[in-house]
Amino acid sequence: MNEYDLLNLTYNSMEEARRQMVRLLEERSRTYSLPRPLYNDPLLFRIDMEEVFEKEWLFVGMTCELPAKGDYMTVEIGQNPVLIVRDRDGEIQAFHNVCRHRGSRLCTKASGKVATLTCPYHQWTYDLKGNLIFASPEMGENFDRNEYGLKPVHCKTAGGFIFVCLRHGEPPAIDDFLSALAEYMEPYDMENTKVATESTLEEQANWKLVIENNRECYHCSGSHPELLRTLLEWDDTTDPRATPEFLEHCERQAQSWDREGIPHRHLEVGLRNRIVRMPLKEGTQVMTMDGKPACRKTLGRVQNRELGSMRILHLPNSWNHMQSDHLIVFRVLPVSAQKTLVTTKWLVHKDAVEGEDYEVERLRQVWDATNRQDRDLAEENQRGINSLGYEPGPYSETYEFGVINFLDWYAETVLNNGKQGRF
């Protein structure tokens, strides 16, 4: 078999995979888990990457991680290395982290600071807006530097969050969510925060199982003793499990938030984005083992330490908990059909001093335990799904409605993006 036969075989395999993807998504039952191939097949995973992670807005990091001109971070989205940098005008730019000469990665570290972007291979050099400013004279007198700037990636910021989109052409709409995000994050003054610590877990599970696990607390009472020291299991005031006592607690907290001008109205932008501020258990302030402050300094203009947790969802790859003295942001990036990276970052006031205002171990204790527990749950879920004994099982329409909503968004997104492209 020659190389052309192999190319045709790969092409035909992908075309068949796309037909299978359409059939599985169109025929699925909305209130049941997905068929096995959608959780473990490498070709269907490749379609997930092409139709979701290469076309939708993704959370990649926080603006406070790039406080000064020349600060940069890198991220790998599948096989796409991306570079995010603050330019000399103070704007955050994103580029494909690929030199226009022969394709080498420009920046090989996770983060750093540069005056210019210089390729380590042949020293082609770009300014912080992606313009090629140096290529050796050996390129010849007819070489036009203006034609070889870095390829930009769509990039938007709001409320301290950085989002990128790899899509060619016009990206999907996100401005309504970003406007709301900026409003709801205003009390925290995100430009005056810093990442105190972070972790990345490699989970041997499909990315959708990682998100599904996050979208319900049906499993919490049996799996998360540390988290439930402070967290109330109810998703919001419309949760069918909500008790009269819980609703009264919510109302009392809402009145105190109103007095301080803290946004808390439940907000949804389609199935993709959601913001809701929920109180924690009475007598607790933040998600620590004892419910007491994790940091002496509150954030921004916050005075009331009982802000509960403002939960922010952004599909396909982020959930977040915003509290009075520290913030916790989560980023999900698929690696393969059965491998996913989950990065957690804990943010505090930029002037907070480790060892004086906060202790990293105390800051991390609850969510380090919860993340490990969730990793184990997702990995055992994957092992069971890989079995010949697996078949899609029913979701609870009350306890697991968040999972149903996520899979509705996922199916709609893959089918719609596919119709615009290759399906």
Q: Are 306 and 282 in contact (CB under 8 A)?
A: no
Percent of the chain with pLDDT over 90: 89
Query: Cα–Cα distance between 208 and 382 in angstroms, integer?
Result: 10
Phi first, then psi, for residue 95 (nearest 5°) are: -140, 155
Count of CB atoms situated within 10 Å of the CB of 243:
11
Closest Cα to residue 202, out of 319, 338, 403, 44?
A: 338
- CATH number for the domain including 352? 3.90.380.10
Residue 241 pLDDT more than 80?
no
- Here the contacts of 263-266 (C-beta below 8 Å, separation 24 or greater) are 263/183, 263/184, 263/186, 263/187, 264/310, 266/236, 266/237, 266/238
- Tell me the average pLDDT across 106-112: 97
Q: Which residue has the tokens 């994957």?
A: 382
Considering the chain, what percentage of its residues have pLDDT values greater than 70?
97
Shared domain check, 198 and 342: yes
Phi, psi of 161 (to 5 degrees): -95, 145
Averaged pLDDT for residues 387-416? 96
Domain contains 3? no
Answer yes or no: is pLDDT of 390 > 90. Answer: yes
Q: Please tell me whether the peptide bond between 263 and the residue prior to it is cis, using omega within 30 degrees of 0.
A: no
Q: Is residue 42 part of a domain?
A: no
232 and 360 belong to one structural domain: yes
Are residues 380 and 313 part of one domain? yes
The answer as to whether 410 is a domain residue is no
Instruction: Supply the range of the domain harboring residue 258.
Output: 189-385
What is the predicted pLDDT for the residue at 419?
81
Residue 325 Cα distances to 139, 255, 272, angstroms = 54, 20, 27
Could you read off the pLDDT of 201-237 as tens digits, one per residue? 999 999 999 999 999 999 999 999 999 999 998 777 7
Question: Distance between CA 48 and CA 53 in Å, rounded?
Answer: 7
- Residue 230 sits in the same domain as residue 377: yes
Q: Where does a domain end: 165, 180, 205?
A: 165
Cα dihedral 91, 92, 98, 104 in deg (nearest 10): 90
Residues 249 and 324 in one domain: yes
The strand pair at 80-86 and 92-96 is best described as: antiparallel
pLDDT at 6 over 60: no
User: Could you tell me the two tokens for 38?
Assistant: 């959608």
Q: Give yes or no: residues 157 and 200 share one domain.
A: no
The answer to whether residue 239 scores a pLDDT higher than 90 is: no
Contact 88, 69 (CB under 8 A): yes
Average the pLDDT over 323-334 and give the result.
Answer: 98
| pLDDT tier at 136, thresholds 50, 70, 90 | confident
CATH number at residue 158: 2.102.10.10
In a domain, 17, yes or no: no
DSSP 202: E
Quick one: 148 and 202 in the same domain?
no
What pLDDT is stored for residue 7 in this prediction? 44
Residue 115 lies in a domain: yes
Q: In this structure, are 376 and 314 located in the same domain?
A: yes
Q: What is the pTM of this model?
A: 0.95
| 403 inside domain | no
What is the pLDDT confidence band of residue 9, given thresholds at 50, 70 and 90?
low
Residue-wise DSSP of 237-284: TT-TT--HHHHHHHHHHHHHHHHHT-----EEETTTEEEEEE--STT-
What region, left, alpha or beta, does residue 92 occupy, with left being phi > 0 and alpha being psi -120 to 50 degrees? Answer: beta
Last residue in a domain, options 165, 199, 219: 165
Q: How many helices (H) and strands (E) does the chain have?
A: 9, 17
> What is the reported pLDDT for 421?
61
Distance between CA 77 and CA 54 in Å, rounded? 8
Q: Are residues 193 and 161 in the same domain?
A: no
| C-beta of residue 81 within 8 angstroms of C-beta of residue 96 | yes
**Structural element, H or E, at residue 44:** helix 42-48
What tens digit of pLDDT does each residue of 355-379 get?
999 999 999 999 999 999 999 999 9
What is the pLDDT averaged over residues 253-259? Answer: 95
To the nearest whole number, what is the mean pLDDT of the chain?
A: 95
Residue 141: pLDDT band by 50, 70, 90 thresholds?
Answer: confident
pLDDT category at 2 given cuts 50, 70, 90 is: low
Report the C-alpha gap between 339 and 372 in whole angstroms. Answer: 15
Does 237 fall in a domain? yes
Give yes or no for residue 156 having a pLDDT over 90.
yes
- 271 and 326, same structural domain? yes
DSSP-derived 3-state class of residue 162: strand
Per the structure, the count of domains in the chain is: 2
User: Same domain for 268 and 302?
Assistant: yes
pLDDT tens, position by position, 270-289: 999 999 999 999 999 999 99
pLDDT, tens only, 330-341: 999 999 999 999
Q: Provide the β-strand partners of residue 345.
A: 198, 329
What residue type is assigned to position 408 of the chain?
D
Tokens encoding 58 = 């993704």
Whether residue 295 lies inside any domain: the answer is yes
Two tokens, residue 131: 């313009």
Same domain, 97 and 199: no
CA–chain centroid gap for 194, Å, is 18
Q: Is the pLDDT of residue 328 over 80?
A: yes
What letter would DSSP give residue 53? I
